[in-house]
């Protein structure tokens, strides 16, 4: 089945700096790659996603890039703010997954210090 | 619409007891998923429904677990004879499948189960 690996597991940046989280996947049939933000005690919140027919997508301070050949994708957060502090999960999905369910990475705990 | 709603938010139960969780998806979302999340891990797929039909179960879902989605609306997840290893956050997600099978999934706040 699909295996998603995520790095780093923890990331600490100063307010205003950029943060980059990287993920790799194993199933070349995967074609949908969302990113979720999870705050303590809450459910995951979709922040951005990308499909395999696109190489890059941007939404204000957040961008995601996808390299299908290398089977990796990354989340970029610019001008980080303390409220960006949370656990971020990457995920992959495709026809190999039951009902196109998501395979998640283990998460990155991001801390933005003022 | 207020999004995916789960109830209860927290549940503490004694080992051996049965528990039931409820999920109300975003209205008109025809696909509903259950995931389990343990501390320090990403959510793991348990099962999913297309309308009222349960189409797939993960091998993580033992015989003590059962899920239903009567009338294709809300869903329930029941765990019988709970064990300490069942302690986790149980998450529900829903999505609207129209044509393209792969669309955004929206999660609820989860039910945190503690088995003592």
CB B93 within 8 A of CB B107: yes
Shortest CA gap B47–chain A (Å): 8
A15 touches chain B (CB under 8 A): no
Select from B93, B1, B100 the least CA-distant residue to A36. Answer: B93
C-alpha distance across the termini of chain A, in Å = 41
Hunting for tokens 């189409």 — which residue is that? Answer: B55
Shortest CA gap B104–chain A (Å): 8
| pLDDT per residue as tens, chain B (116 positions) | 579 999 999 999 999 999 999 999 999 899 999 999 999 999 999 999 999 998 888 888 899 999 999 988 999 999 999 999 999 999 999 999 877 767 899 999 999 999 99
A104 touches chain B (CB under 8 A): yes
Q: Hey, which residues 64-93 in chain A have their CB within 8 Å of chain B? A: 89, 91, 93
Taking an 8 Å cut-off on Cβ atoms, the answer to whether A43 and B108 are in contact is yes
Taking an 8 Å cut-off on Cβ atoms, the answer to whether B104 and A34 are in contact is yes
Neighbouring C-beta atoms of residue A12, cutoff 10 Å: 13
Cα B113 to the center of its chain, rounded Å: 12
Q: How far is CA A97 from CA A58, B17, B69, B116, in A?
A: 26, 32, 21, 34
């Amino acid at each position: 089945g699909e295996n998603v690996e995520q790095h780093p597991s923890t990331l600490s940046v100063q307010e205003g700096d950029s943060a980059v989280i990287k993920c790799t996947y194993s199933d070349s049939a995967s074609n949908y790659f969302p990113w979720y933000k999870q705050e303590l005690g809450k459910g995951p919140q979709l922040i951005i996603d990308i499909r395999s027919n696109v190489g890059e997508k941007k939404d204000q301070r957040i961008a995601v890039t996808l390299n299908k050949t290398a089977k990796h994708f990354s989340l970029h957060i610019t001008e980080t703010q303390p409220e960006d502090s949370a656990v971020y999960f990457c995920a992959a999905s495709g026809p190999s997954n039951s009902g196109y369910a998501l395979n998640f990475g283990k998460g990155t705990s991001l801390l933005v210090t003022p | 619409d207020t999004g995916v709603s789960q109830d209860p938010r927290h549940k503490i139960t004694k080992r051996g007891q049965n528990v039931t969780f409820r999920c109300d998806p975003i209205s008109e979302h025809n696909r509903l998923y259950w995931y389990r999340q343990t501390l320090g891990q990403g959510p793991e797929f348990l099962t999913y429904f297309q309308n009222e039909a349960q189409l797939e179960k993960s091998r993580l879902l033992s015989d003590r677990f059962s899920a239903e989605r009567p009338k294709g609306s809300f869903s329930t997840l029941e765990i019988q004879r709970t064990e300490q290893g069942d302690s986790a956050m149980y998450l529900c997600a829903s999505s609207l499948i129209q044509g393209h099978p792969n669309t955004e999934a929206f999660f609820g706040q989860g039910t945190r189960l503690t088995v003592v």
